[in-house]
Chain A
Amino acid sequence: MTEQRYRHLETAENPRDLRRVAIDPVTRVEGHGKVTLLLDEMGRVHQARLHIVEFRGFEKFIQGRPYWEVPVLVQRLCGICPVSHLLAGAKAVDCLVGVETLPPAAEKLRRLLHYGQVLQSHALHFFHLASPDLLFGFDSEAEKRNVLELLRCGRFRDIALEGIKLRKFGQEVIRAVIGKRIHGTGPIPGGMNKHLDAADRDRLAPQLDEVLRWARNGLELVRSLYLANADYHHRFAVIRSHFMALVTGDGGHELYDGRIRVRGDDGRILFDGLCDRDYTGYIHEQVKAWSYMKFPYLAALGPEEGWYRVGPLARINTCDFIDTPEAEAARREFLRLDGGLPVQASLAYHWARMIEILHCAEKIRDLLADPDLYAGDLETRGSRCHEGVGVIEAPRGVLIHHYRIDDDGLVTKANLIVSTTHNNTAMNEAIRQVAAEYLDGCELTEALLNRIEIAIRAYDPCLSCATHAIGKMPLVVDLVTAEGETVQRLVRHGDGAVAAA
C-alpha cells in the first residue's frame, strides 16, 4: 500500500488554536523552501507542510524565442543543474527537428557530458551538504555541520577533500565536452557541434584510477554509516511509495534516454515501456491551495495511490541491472537491505547516490576509450514538427521539457516537470513521518528541527532560483501564533550557531 500513512498531518482540523513553527529557509538544499508545523499547547503535531517556490515565469521567459536557442536559454533556469536543463532541452529540440536517433558520436558525447554532471552533482550534495549530518551526527552542534568542519576534522578531512576532487573532475568532464563558457554550447538540434579533443582525453583519463578510488571510498563510507545504525535508518523518514525511472529496453539503469518504468512498493512492475513523450497521458498533477508546487501522480492510480518517487533511489530500485560491474555489485548488495524489495528509507537515497557516482566514473572511463567520441558524424536531420518532448534522468530524477513551436520556429508553449516536483508528495510525507515520530509532544530544539531538514535533504531538492545577490539569505526560524504574532525568533548566525533574537 502506498497509502500516505501520515496524511492526517497535511491539514489540521482546527488551525486557529495552534501555534506555528516555521523552518525558513530549509538549509543545505538548493533554492528557497520552508517548512511549517502547527502544534498544540502540549507540543503535539497537527500539521506539517513543505512549501516550495517553484520556477515562476518560465513559460513567459521562453515563449517567443526561436527553438534553436532553447538549449542555451534553459541553462539559465538553475545555477546548480544547468547541464540537466541543457540536455533535456536539447532532446526536446531533437524532437522538434524530427530527429529520433543521433549519430553515435553525438549521443556518446551527450552521455559523457551527462555522466560528468551527475557525478559532480551527487558529489556536491553528499560530501558538501549531507555528509556532515551523517558523520557528526544529527544531534551534533549546528555550527559543526558543514564541509569546513569536515576539513578541519582529522578523521573526515580526506573524505571531504575527495568529495571536492570528485566534484572538480566532473566539472572538468563538462568543460571538455561543452567548453569553459558559463553556458555550454555543445548540443545543437540533431547532434553536437564538436568531437572530444584527444588532448582532453589525455588529461582526463589518467585521473580515473583516483576518481574510481574516491568513488569506492564514498560508497563504502555511506554503506558503513547506514549499516552501523541500520535499525534507525530503517525507521527514520521511511515512507512507502512506488518508484519511477527511465530504464533501457532490457530494463537496465539509464540516465540519458529510455522508457519509463514504474515499480510498485511491493516490487512488482506496475508500468513498463511507457514512451516518455506521452507523459501527459500517464502523469497528472494535483494542485493544493497551500503549495506553489504541484503534486504529480500516476493517472491510472489516482492521487491517493499513484504518487511516486524519482531520483537515485528510484533508479536503483526500478532497474533490473546496472551495466558497469562495480556499480552492479553495489546495487545487488543494496537491494539485500529489504530482502530484494524496493528500499523505502529516505536516507537510502544517499547510498543510491554513491552507487551512481561509481557508475558514472566507470562509464566515463569506458567512454573516454571509445573512438566514436573523436570521429564520425555529429549531426543528423529530419522533418520539423510543432511539438517536442525531452526527458532525461537528471541527478535528482526524471526531468521533462515540453515545447510547442509555430511555423516560424518560435516557442508558443513550454512546460517543465522538474525532478523535485515529482518528489513533492514524498517529501511532504517524509516530513510528516518525522514530525509524528520524532517531534510529536517534544520540546522543539534545533536538533529536532534539523531532523526535518535531514529528511528533506535526502531528496536533494533543487528549489533553485539561482539568484544569489548579497543580502538575500534570510536564516531565521520564527515561532508564530495562529493569529500571526511572532512570539519567538531564532537566528542562525554566520558561524552556524542558533540563538534567540
Chain B
Amino acid sequence: MKTLILGYGNPGRGDDGLGPELVARLEKHPVTAVTLLAALQLQPEHVFDLADHDRVLLVDAGLETPAPFTWDRLHPARDPGVFTHTLSPRALLAIYREALHREPPVTWLVTIRGERFGLGESLSEAARRHLARALESVTAWLADARTVPG
C-alpha cells in the first residue's frame, strides 16, 4: 500500500508550521512505501502528488480544532477553498476528481490544534504537546493500515 503524507503550513508563522514539522519528524525514520511531502499551502498541482497513492494523509494546523488533534475522513467538495490561492483539502480532492477523471485516494486530514500564528514565532508549548500526540497516532496508523483513526 502506497501512502502519501503531506503536511502543509508556514513554519515562519508559529504553530502554522505544525504540518511540515510532523513531516520533518517522520523523515527521521523513513518508512518504505511512504512518500513524505511538505508545502506552504495546498495548490492545484498537488493532485499529481496524490495520484498513484492508495491512501493520503494531509496534516494541517487549526486554531479552533479540539486539542490535541482531530482525524477526519475527507471527501471531495466545493467549498470556499476553490476561490482562493490556498486550496482547502476538500477542494483539492474535488479538483483531483475533475482533473484526473477518477476518484481520489482514500484521504484523511489530521488537524493539530495550534495556539499562536504570528510572524516569526516558534511552535508554542501547547502545540509541541499536541504534535507529540498526533505523531504517535500517525505512526500507529502507518504501522497498521487497518487502524481506524480516532
* Structural contact, A82 and B60, CB atoms closer than 8 A: no
Task: Please tell me which one of the listed residues B65, B84, B91 contacts residue A28 in the complex, with CB atoms under 8 A apart.
Answer: B84
Cross-chain contact B10 with A147 (CB below 8 angstroms): no
Pick the contact of A468: B16, B37, B119 (CB < 8 A): B16
Q: Is B128 an interface residue (CB 8 A)?
A: no
Q: Is the CB of A468 within 8 A of B98?
A: no
Which residues from A are CB-within-8-Å of B98?
148, 151-152, 157
What separation, in Å, do the CA atoms of A27 and B85 have in the docked complex?
9
Instruction: Check A146–B82 contact: CB distance below 8 A.
Output: yes
Q: How far is the CB of A325 from chain B (nearest CB, A)?
A: 28
B-contacting residues, A427-467, CB 8 Å: 465-467
Most chain A Cβ neighbours within 10 Å, of B40, B47, B61, B94: B40
Least CB distance from A396 to B in Å reads 12
B56 located at the interface, meaning its Cβ lies under 8 Å from any Cβ of chain A in the complex: no
Among residues of A, the one whose C-beta sits closest to the C-beta of B76 is A148
CA distance A160 to B45 in the complex (A): 11
| B16 nearest CB neighbor, chain A only | A467
What residues of A have a CB within 8 angstroms of the CB of B13 in the complex? 76, 465-467
A151 touches which of B37, B38, B95, B120 (Cβ 8 Å): B95
- Please give the distance in Å from A300's CB to the nearest CB on chain B: 34
CA distance A171 to B49 in the complex (A): 12
> Nearest Cβ distance between residue B28 and chain A, in whole angstroms?
14
Closest to A58 in B: B119
- How far, in Å, is B128 (CB) from chain A's closest CB? 17
- Is B79 located at the chain interface by the 8 A CB criterion? yes
- A167 near B45: Cβ-Cβ < 8 Å: yes
Stretch at the interface among A209-217, A262-270, A335-343, A469-477: A469-477
A:134-179 near B, CB below 8 Å: 146-148, 151-152, 157, 160-161, 163-165, 167-168, 171
In the complex, which residue of chain B has the Cβ closest to the Cβ of A28? B83
A324 to chain B, nearest CB (A): 24
In the complex, are the beta carbons of A148 and B94 less than 8 A apart? yes
CB of B80 within 8 A of CB of A60, answer no
Q: Which residues of A contact B10 (CB under 8 A)?
A: 76, 79, 466-468
Q: What 1/0 flags go to B32-60 for Cβ under 8 Å of A?
A: 00000111110111011000000000001
A471 engages B47 (CB within 8 Å)? no
**Is A61 close to B, CB under 8 A?**
yes
Chain A contacts to B: CB under 8 angstroms: 27-30, 55-58, 60-61, 73, 75-77, 79-80, 82, 124, 128-129, 146-148, 151-152, 157, 160-161, 163-165, 167-168, 171, 180-183, 465-473, 475, 492, 494-496
Which 4 A-B residue pairs are closest in the complex by CB-CB distance? A76-B12, A61-B120, A151-B98, A79-B40
